[in-house]
Amino acid sequence: KNKKSTLYSLQLINNKINRRMELIATLKSQIYTLNDSLASTQISVEKLCKRLKEMKSEYARIAYYLYKYNNPYTRMMFVFSADDINQAYQRLRYLNEIAVYIRKQAVKIKDLEKVKKIKIEQIEREKQIKNCLLDQQTTQLSSLELEQQRKNKLKKKLSGQELQLRASLRKKRKE
């Protein structure tokens, strides 16, 4: 009866160890997937930063041009220095299109900045999740180690009991 309960305890410990090992494998898989996601998000942020930098430099160049030629006198001189009225009209349209373009670029830059901020927040959340998973994995590994130690102690105990029983059985047979 005692042996059956001990064997049952050993089987329970083995089951716990197997479940814990499955859990650890799942955690490792989640961490691996999260690492991939983190890497792709970071690459995306880097590309976004590069694109933003290019857009900002172009915006700065155009904004400087507008600043330089946007006072009313310079604008009038640019329009009135045209060879004919059609060219003057085209120049006026050109100046207005540049103003519209720069406003659109400013909106695009703001939108990209928002996207960048969202992606950076996503990276931070993923890092927190990763740290949580790593903590869980560490906890599970330490629990697994404790359960394996319990299993080894129980095996030693069973082996010792078996040796004692065999020794006592031999004594009884000799008598």
Q: Tell me, what amino acid is at 62? A: I
Please check whether residue 123 is in contact with residue 38, taking contact to mean a CB–CB distance below 8 angstroms.
yes
Structure confidence at residue 77 (pLDDT): 84
In terms of Cα–Cα distance, which of 33, 24, 47 is closest to 139?
Answer: 24
Structure confidence at residue 1 (pLDDT): 57
Structure confidence at residue 174 (pLDDT): 85
Structure confidence at residue 66 (pLDDT): 77
Q: What is the pLDDT along the chain (175 residues), one digit of tens a residue?
A: 576 787 788 888 889 888 989 988 998 999 999 999 999 999 999 999 999 999 999 999 888 877 776 777 887 888 888 899 999 999 889 888 888 988 999 999 999 999 999 999 999 999 999 999 889 999 988 998 999 998 888 888 888 888 888 888 888 888 7
- How many angstroms separate the CA atoms of 73 and 79, rounded? 10
- How many angstroms separate the CA atoms of 103 and 76, rounded? 22
Helix axes 72-80, 2-69, angle to 10 degrees: 70
